[in-house]
Structure 1
């Protein structure tokens, strides 16, 4: 029968303590989730001793011998050999038909497996989040590229759950259902935020492992950029959902306040004098807006009016310029008429002189 969990040790890291030691990153892949636990060689020794004590016989595989004259921190070849040997040790126990060692509590504790894992065949979508960021996961970072994708898939599921919860809240008919849907959406968004942070840290670890770790899976620069884009998209979706949730909460508070004021007015039998905006009696433009939105709408209306006034000013300016041009044209025409009058007077004078001369001749 195929094992329910796939175990591998894809890479190793070095601790950042004053006295460094080698950390073996154990990757565990379950049917619907994956996670990583970090152990040092002394933890494997304790595991082996515990298995012998609980089962009464040693496991089918033996641990690699301890090196007294060389340290794995300063010997990459020894580190790789021990990584392979420890991986073989875990795989042998996990895949052998005899399940005595797999069913012990020390084995489950070592790998952070639940006590009911032997009969467990499925898990909820949120299990990966609890393993990575919760106490069960020991805060172990993501170091495996495949596990990173599993975490990203589960994070998207959390965002989708948040969307569904917000949709249910919008369609809820009672305050209790609205509150339950809001709480579910908030919970999903909190989980998604934690997983986005784990994905960012995990991508950094994978980048470092590509350059420093032995035996690990490497990612190209293009794939790293693609995964960074996935994180950026997830952040954008999360922020949008959080803004929508906050807007719904604000609108709910406003509706509650309006209903309370109306009930008070009906109880007192009086209505306040309407001055400015009247809550509960909105126009089609302001009905879906809060106070900030109404203020923004008013500013937009005033800006539109300013534009209209500016257009009117331009029209008046053009009319003024046209009037000035007409006045100048009239002045030119008047000058021309005066010149014609002067010419007519001069010609009339000559005609009169000619008539007098004709009279003298006759």
Structure 2
């Protein structure tokens, strides 16, 4: 019997699958999500044959039959072409690994290697737990979550302060972990200088998006309407303010005059005032531009679900075409065999005649 030590609970699930292709074959890859107690997640990619190899190593020690049996192989169905069969196998494998996570076999060396679980699980929050592959996975996950939070914020789905703050905190924590992990990988020479530069540039862009999301969250939490006149502008402005306060009533009248002010320049080309901008002072014009930019961002974000849906439809069409081509190849092969049989039959009838 195996001797085991106590270990913190680990959550295992298979949220989705994907297809891989080689020169002469295609196969299904199962995405195993490993969730640690400190909310850190890791994605491991495994084929069904690897599940079978792991099960063969565990079965000799499973005297009480704690683990469920793996789904059986099929000679007539394929997970590559049959979506229902692929989904049923995914569900069965997910039940298998969930039972495995609650069993003592989770601490076997072979099982840890299968799920890419390190021996120092208690220190999994340290940056040393992120290798080059895990770093890329966490980066894309953080970028995807930040984008989804921004879409929900602009569309009004995530209107609670708690939800916005939680998503912001999670993104910041993941970004800090990515920076620390990249520094460690650079010191260990695990990545080349060019790759380190590329990943640092990716992180800088992600940090900029995070700052933009935080700024948008603050602006939406405190909506501001354009002032009707310069009288609403405080007497003193900050050094970084893009406008100067108007202190006298004569300046207020000039800012609301029907002709454009000689002190305000709309761009380098001195664009002409419009009926809308002519009624606003510098503060109102600045806020109007911000509202226009936020409106454009919202419209762009609303297009994302449509584009993603088009992508899914295109991939489904591609899979259908591949399946139809395989069926046509089978029909063509059978036709060639029947043609050869007919030719041999004719030759024999000719000899008999």
TM-score (norm 2): 0.40
Higher helix fraction: Structure 1 or Structure 2? 1
Report which structure shows greater RCO (CA 8 Å, sep ≥6). 1
TM-score (norm 1): 0.39
